[in-house]
Structure 1
Amino acid sequence: MLEGISWGTFIHTVAVISAIYYVIVLALYYRGDLNSLGQRKAAVSAREHGKNEESGDPSNIPIDGVQTVLDNIRGVLEQAGKQAGKEGLLNQLHQTLASFDGLRQPAYRNALKNYIIKHAEELCGVGLSGEELESDWADLPR
């Protein structure tokens, strides 16, 4: 019986079975990664076709964009230091946030507000309130 199987047939069969095995293992262990990869491709495709621009979905704003804004805000607060006045600090923050689209999202807006209030007090000694920040951000594009 084994004399009827050539080495070529044996290697081909083992390769096919191994490929099927690894596809199944990858599908089981990396299912979440594969799903997110598929969703990311769908979002990019939808964005290219103009379907997902103003959907209000926080996932439209990349997390590294939020991190960049937080780093810029921290830089403004550190540069202002303890000698900063409230009005000057609000103006600098206003300029920093003018191009950030995340202010449309309540989650990002509240997170930024809390971050600024906490770090303005720690780094500059300036007490800002949420109402002051909201009134300053009222004329920013959303």
Structure 2
Amino acid sequence: MTSLISSETRIKVSSVLNRDTTNYGKQNLIDGSAETCWNSEQGLPQNILLDFPSPVSVESIILQFQGGFAGKTCIAVGSTPESPNDYHVEIGRFYPQDINPTQTFNFTATEGLKRVKIIFEDGTDFYGRITIYKLDILGKKLFTSDSSISV
């Protein structure tokens, strides 16, 4: 398994606290700094959408929440290159603990996904805010027939 997130992966989030993308934006999910985070506005559900440059097989999701602002009931869904806006592939449901340490959620490998959407249906914060310091998606990058190399 390897990280599926690269500089070519596009990330979108449902909201950013006070629209302050500098301090709480999506870039903080994957910057590797323990000092920065994505912080959503209040209200549920919240979500993170990852758009990969080529199809992937998802095996694990790694998240580090701020205690008190964790997702409680979550689902990861995916879409295929043929239907990128139709999230009909369920990767799995997961139930994070309300703790600060990094948590890993493993799934049966789901292949051929172009996009992955992590939906936080319920959270531990009374106002529905989610705070994440670290995000990673592990699995395998799949190669399609049009990615052949010609010499």
Q: Where on the TM-score scale, by shorter chain, does this alignment land: which range?
A: under 0.3
- Compare the two structures and name the one with the higher helix fraction: 1
Query: What TM-score, normalized by structure 1, do the two folds share?
Result: 0.28
Kindly indicate whether structure 1 or structure 2 has the higher relative contact order, using CA contacts under 8 Å at least 6 residues apart.
Answer: 2
Query: What TM-score, normalized by structure 2, do the two folds share?
Result: 0.27
Bigger radius of gyration: 1
- Compare the two structures and name the one with the higher strand fraction: 2
